[in-house]
Amino acid sequence: MIQTACPLDCWDACGITVDPARPEALVSTPTHPMDNGALCALLNKHMHEAPRITTPRIDGQAVSMEEALDAVASALRSDRSLLWRGSGHLGVMQSVTDLLMERVGGTLTSGSLCDSAGQAGVEAGRGINRHLPPEQIAQAEVVVVWGRNITVTNKHLMPYLEGKRLIVIDPVRTPIAKRAEIHLQIKPRTDFYLAMLLARFSIMEDGEDHAWLERFGSEWEEFYEFTREFRIKAILAHMGLSLDQMGDMLRLIQTHKTVFLVGIPLQHYIQGHAVTWAIDSLAAVLGLFGREGCGVSYMGSSRQGFDNPFAVSLPRVPTVTAPFERFETVLVQGGNPAESMPDSNRVQAALDGVKNLIYFGLYDNETSARARIIIPAKNFLEKEDIRLSYGHQYVTPMHKVTEAAYGISEYDFVTEIVQRLELEPIESEEYYLSAWLDQCREENGQRVLPDYHPLPYADGFGEEGDEAFVFIDEYEDDDEPIGFRRFRKPREESFDGHYWLLTPKSLKALNTQFVRKSEVYLSAECGFAEGERVRLRNKQGELELTVKLSEDVRPDCALVYGSTPGVNRLTPAHLSEEGEGACYGEAKVQIERVG
Ligand SMILES: Nc1nc2c(c(=O)[nH]1)N[C@H]1C(S)=C(S)[C@@H](COP(=O)(O)OP(=O)(O)OC[C@H]3O[C@@H](n4cnc5c(=O)[nH]c(N)nc54)[C@H](O)[C@@H]3O)O[C@H]1N2
Ligand SMILES: Nc1nc2c(c(=O)[nH]1)N[C@H]1C(S)=C(S)[C@@H](COP(=O)(O)OP(=O)(O)OC[C@H]3O[C@@H](n4cnc5c(=O)[nH]c(N)nc54)[C@H](O)[C@@H]3O)O[C@H]1N2
Ligand code: SF4
Ligand SMILES: [Mo]
């Protein structure tokens, strides 16, 4: 039996063993405590249902791999080459292509479509982003699920929530919200204010953790002054929440071991970094860092503590707003930017103008449809790799199980191109695999991150782990409603026909892969009927969808799964103020009947 792990972009990183005689039968083999021994339907789709690209193509014609690689090599002779990498496979070996770009003098991207704004906020407060180990989550008494859809995106955390008191903060009544003791069905884009009000009330009621603050958060009184800039009544009315709800939540989190599980969409805003920073600041007031059974779990940085053998120093453009039109050659690896990037009308036009668009992936999609050169990838059973996780500290080797009938691994792709261009060869595959694995630590017989700490921030913050927590001290939002600050007059908020567009993950799709429906979920209060065709529209673009009525969505929101074809025609290409993150959440839409 050969050990590997699920490569898909998911918090869980499930362990798998495979009998090489029957490579199609994957056996779930938990390699870490967060893995409960069940592989999900997404992996089945990845392995068996999604039709793979089986032959290289140039201008739509099937060619041999040799011819295709020759064409890639000649395209990469351009001095204007860009590599845009998605997150289709989470193995570390995906990044080996950075070494290729270094050798050809190309450009890479920075920031991400996913978590980078929130990561910047976490780093602002804590210095570095350490995982909250699942073992700490297991010991919590109260769990605050803050904008994470656990039953869909992070299933293996469910057993950890058994028997705990649950608070959910989400504009949608998600399955986990239905089971929660308190559900704050918050207006989108207001989590920053909620965190600030909760911190303020906590200090007003003397609920802060004095001993902890003395040691690790000496600036807390300045922070309290900052929270007092925000007007309570106007903000509560705007969020659609009551003082009683604040009180109920505070009573629970001030008196119990509490964990915050923070999700992705609440930081998909221009001020996204301020949201995670404010949530961390609230947690600091309550003394939740470095305490057993407490803490804040945001998407961890899976490479925390590693010396990256693929590190290169090259010019970069933002992943979120990549100016494809400035490049002659664009290599897209493991992603579908034509659909997954915001403002896809702009993105698709820019990709259409690229002379040499190269697509390197497993499946055909909206990006491969535009590519001049298509290189089929190998899947995870056909190559060596190492799986890190953004949800926990465990590291799993991914061994090759079977020979590929077609396709090429990322490592072989780089060596083939480097050879053709007569550039400096890269090291052996084993060299890089060991460079990652040799840095890992052993903890109770498991391989974990190099600087893993069972109780993160127990001794303090920053690179050395001995500094104070830095509280958030500013927030400048150009769109802040009038009346939110002490010195400005309140204004009545009313719905103006522009719905907040929510684009969460769906159960049967993984980002733009697999099952992709074209539906919009609306509250019956919006006045549309089940099955009706509607057009969503804003200044970025428009999209026709079929109405599904749902009691779970706020009447001022339109929920369209992020996997829906064309959904990013409606999202703006803003960059978050910090972290170069995507701002899918800044989209509002008007809705009209079609016909
Ligand atoms: N509106 C909206 N848009 C969003 C989001 C949102 O919340 N709302 N979320 C964003 C987020 S969080 C993310 S992470 C991005 C994801 O966006 P992308 O990273 O673009 O991911 P996918 O669309 O899933 O494309 C993954 C592709 O990887 C390829 N692939 C799979 N395995 C391999 C492999 O081993 N090698 C190679 N070379 N290729 C492989 C497959 O062909 C697949 O088509 O989307 C973002 N887009
Ligand atoms: N089945 C499945 N699983 C996946 C993925 C997938 O495509 N399909 N994608 C993977 C990837 S790339 C990622 S990044 C993770 C993401 O994992 P999650 O963070 O769980 O992502 P989402 O489903 O986008 O959103 C979670 C919740 O945030 C809520 N939300 C939206 N806007 C706001 C807001 O302003 N404030 C608050 N408080 N909540 C808000 C949504 O209603 C939703 O219930 O999931 C991973 N797992
Ligand atoms: S839950 Fe996530 S890691 Fe596990 S099999 Fe499914 S997609 Fe893969
Ligand atoms: Mo993501």
The per-residue pLDDT for 492 is 58
Of 493 and 81, which is predicted with more confidence? 81
Q: Separation of 246 CA from ligand 2 center, angstroms?
A: 24
Phi, psi of 329 (to 5 degrees): -125, 130
Q: Is the pLDDT of residue 336 over 80?
A: yes
β-partners of residue 143 are 166, 259
Q: Separation of 339 CA from ligand 1 center, angstroms?
A: 9
Q: What is the position in ligand 2's atom list of the atom closest to the CA of 508?
A: 1
How is 431-474 classified by DSSP, letter by letter? HHHHHHHTT-EEETTEEE-TT--SSTTSS-BTTTT-BPP-----
Q: How far apart are CA 38 and CA 29, in angstroms?
A: 8
Residue whose CA lies nearest to ligand 1 atom number 25: 335
Element counts in the chain: helices (H) and strands (E): 18, 28
498 pLDDT tier (thresholds 50, 70, 90): very high
Q: Separation of 268 CA from ligand 4 center, angstroms?
A: 11
> What percent of the chain stands above pLDDT 70?
99
460 near 127, Cβ under 8 Å?
no
> What percent of the chain stands above pLDDT 90?
92
Q: How far apart are CA 548 and CA 15, in angstroms?
A: 37
Q: Is the pLDDT of residue 491 over 80?
A: no
The per-residue pLDDT for 30 is 86
480 pLDDT tier (thresholds 50, 70, 90): confident
The per-residue pLDDT for 493 is 65
Q: Is the pLDDT of residue 551 over 90?
A: yes
Structure tokens belonging to residue 348:
């698709």
Q: 89-128, pLDDT tens digit by residue?
A: 999 999 999 999 999 999 999 999 999 999 999 999 999 9
Torsion of CA 186, 187, 192, 196, to 10 degrees: -60
Q: What is the position in ligand 2's atom list of the atom closest to the CA of 114?
A: 14
Q: Does domain 52-113+309-448 have CATH number 3.90.1150.10?
A: no
Of 493 and 373, which is predicted with more confidence? 373
CA distance readout (Å), 410 to 3, 32, 551: 20, 27, 46
Which run of H or E residues covers position 165?
Answer: strand 165-169
Q: Is the pLDDT of residue 433 over 90?
A: yes
Q: Does domain 498-593 have CATH number 2.40.40.20?
A: yes
Asked whether 266 lines ligand 2 (CB < 6 A), one says: yes
Q: What angle do CA 216, 220, 223 make, to 5 degrees?
A: 140
Asked whether 567 lines ligand 1 (CB < 6 A), one says: yes
The per-residue pLDDT for 36 is 82
Q: Separation of 43 CA from ligand 3 center, angstroms?
A: 6
Q: Separation of 145 CA from ligand 4 center, angstroms?
A: 17
Q: 167-200, pLDDT tens digit by residue?
A: 999 999 999 999 999 999 999 999 999 999 999 9
253 near 142, Cβ under 8 Å?
yes
Q: Separation of 313 CA from ligand 1 center, angstroms?
A: 25
Asked whether 40 lines ligand 3 (CB < 6 A), one says: yes
| Domain map (residue ranges) of the chain | 52-113+309-448, 116-297, 498-593
Residue whose CA lies nearest to ligand 2 atom number 22: 504
Torsion of CA 23, 29, 32, 37, to 10 degrees: 120
The per-residue pLDDT for 32 is 82
Regarding pTM above 0.95, the answer is yes
Asked whether 12 lines ligand 3 (CB < 6 A), one says: yes
The CATH T-level fold of domain 116-297 is Dimethylsulfoxide Reductase; domain 2 (3.40.228)
Q: Which of 23, 101, 65, 64 is nearest to 379 (CA)?
A: 23
Q: What is the position in ligand 1's atom list of the atom closest to the CA of 264?
A: 12
Asked whether 559 lines ligand 1 (CB < 6 A), one says: no
252 pLDDT tier (thresholds 50, 70, 90): very high
Q: How far apart are CA 440 and CA 190, in angstroms?
A: 39
Mean per-residue pLDDT over the chain, rounded: 96
Asked whether 8 lines ligand 3 (CB < 6 A), one says: yes
Nearest ligand for residue 150 CA: 2
Q: Over range 288-299, report the average pLDDT.
A: 97
490 pLDDT tier (thresholds 50, 70, 90): low
Nearest ligand for residue 570 CA: 1
The per-residue pLDDT for 489 is 56
